[in-house]
Chains A and B, each alone.
Chain A
Amino acid sequence: MKIDTIRRHFREAYRGIVKNSWMSFAAVGAVAVTLMIFGVFVIFAVNLGSITDEVGDNVSMNVVLKDEVTKEQATALTTKIKGLPNVNDARFISKDEGVDEVKKNLKDADFTRVLQKGENNFLPNLIKVTPKNVSVSKGVEQAVKGLEGIESVKNSNTAKELLDSVLLFKNIILVFGVGLAVLAAFLISNTIKLTIIARRREIEVQRLVGASNWFIRWPFFIEGGFIGFVGSVLPIGVLLLVYQGFVKMISGGSQNTNLLQMVGFADMAMYLTVSILGIGIFIGVFGSVLSIRRFLKI
């Protein structure tokens, strides 16, 4: 294509947008909202990988042993649990080791002061059991409870609940986002339709004098793609700012509950920019195609 022609197609596309500025504005808005939601989805999807890894670590359960269980019995019990199906690991943690662990994880001075090894240690002996994955943890819990010398099993259910709700959230966003994408494409196709109708005399003359089909179509593709492009810029900006804020807040906050190990800002910026721009332009061009096929009789 000649450079003059390319310049002309862009000029015509621009003319179409300006002419139907309100409709174009609505279409840009719809794309922006869609992509905002899509962007939230991307943030979750990208972070989900690291969240599930974290959850995998936290799915382990603490098996509290009865007081009368001796150290030898406890070691035997640990081996036994290790042999159960779906168990990845079982590790005996004595009262005193428990004190070290708590002190390591918790920096609350008042609480750690009352926690001491020896006679006054009120922590129980326990076995830390790690099931193979979240879904089998319930079964493992049942199996362990059936053994002798077990006081209780403290399962970190919160992890699994968190995971479930994250997955549910992801699906809701996905359905919502697809619906909005369709709406946005429809709005774009509607703007393009208006442009096509406004230009029907020009198109008639173009056909008559022998303009190629692509020459006639190009400005409408560009118009749709441009609406998609402009609709992408705002969500990219907003999401990147918000994400940067999040990353700062979480890395600057309390260290011990580091459940959300978030993906770094630079990586996320790349994922978001590429995917949102790609989808935005795709929605725009798709909207154009809808209109061109229905209304542009060449």
Chain B
Amino acid sequence: MIEMHDVWKVYPNGIEALRGVNITIDTGEFVYVVGPSGAGKSSFIKLMYREEKPTSGVVLINGVNVKRVRDWKIPHLRRKIGVVFQDYKLLPHMSAYDNVAFALEAVEVPTKQIQPRVEEALELVGLSDRMKALPSQLSGGEQQRVSIARAIVNNPGFIIADEPTGNLDPENSWDIMYLLEEINMRGTTVVMATHNKEIVNTMRQRVIAIEQGIVVRDEIGGEYGYED
């Protein structure tokens, strides 16, 4: 569960990216975060995986106040959360397999367990036959699927995605959507910031709209609501 109580995010340059956000996301939910660019969507997401601390207010992840978490315990918080970005953040010199294995190695998973888990994750995203390919040999959609495999391989309770389809054509975007939906069906909470009107309006999930740092709309089965 993710909770925000009267959360403000003010950057050192004085910009108020979030202004008094109150939100609760239950375990197993699928949530779209929409809004014009500069509205504060990425800031909202960054607070969840503790990339940024709230300036005031409280962010709770499964009841844990992220602001109070000691620096050395942050890694353990992050293991509960898989993060996916618009630009994939894959390591260019490593194969799809190695990119996913890298995430398990980083959290000191025993070597014996690495191979079966990486293969399982890549199979889930439909890349069993492209394991040895370098990112440069994969399409954008495939690269994003590798990055999703990396995000889920450690079995986190949450997947947080910041415009994961932002660089993809409609067809690949839909593939990624179906994949995230499937991951959500398996019990993982998914929070996704997006500009993709078609997807939001078709999937009919919970929609949180942010404008100028304020939650202006929060409805189950909502629509995108912007003309862009």
Question: Of the candidates A5, A205, A212, which one forms a contact with B91 in the assembled complex, judged by CB atoms under 8 Å apart?
Answer: A205
Q: Is the CB of A2 within 8 A of B89?
A: no
* Given A205-B102, A205-B103: A210 touches B79 (CB 8 Å cut-off): yes
A contacts with B: majority SS: helix
Task: Give the distance in Å from the alpha carbon of A255 to the alpha carbon of B83 in the complex.
Answer: 79
Cβ contact within 8 Å between B77 and A210:
yes
Interface size on B, residues (CB 8 A): 23
- Pick the contact of B89 from A205, A210, A298 — CB < 8 Å? A205
Interface residue? A207 (CB, 8 A): yes
Q: Which residues of B contact A201 (CB under 8 A)?
A: 89, 91-92
Interface residue tally for chain A (C-beta within 8 Å): 18
Interface membership of B67, Cβ < 8 A: no
Instruction: Note all chain B residues with C-beta closer than 8 A to A5.
Output: 108
Q: How far is the CA of A204 from the CA of B88 in the complex (A)?
A: 12
Q: In the docked arrangement, what's the CA distance between A204 and B89, Å?
A: 9
Q: Are A2 and B78 in contact (CB under 8 A)?
A: no
User: Quick check: is A211 within 8 A (CB to CB) of the other chain?
Assistant: yes
Which residue on chain B has the smallest CB distance to residue A7? B111
Residues of A within 8 A of B89 (CB): 201, 204-205, 208
B106 touches A211 (CB 8 A): yes
Q: A213 touching B91 by the CB < 8 A rule?
A: no
Task: Tell me which residues across on chain A come within 8 A of B49, comparing CB atoms.
Answer: 208
User: Which residues of chain B have C-beta atoms less than 8 A from A202's C-beta?
Assistant: 91, 102
Q: Does A215 contact B (CB under 8 A)?
A: yes
- How far, in whole Å, are A207 and B72 apart by their CA atoms in the complex? 11
Q: What residues on A are CB-neighbors of B103 within 8 Å?
A: 205, 209
Shortest 3 CB-CB distances between A and B: which pairs? A210-B78, A210-B79, A211-B106
Which of A's residues lie within 8 Å of B, judged by CB? 2, 4-5, 8, 201-202, 204-213, 215, 298
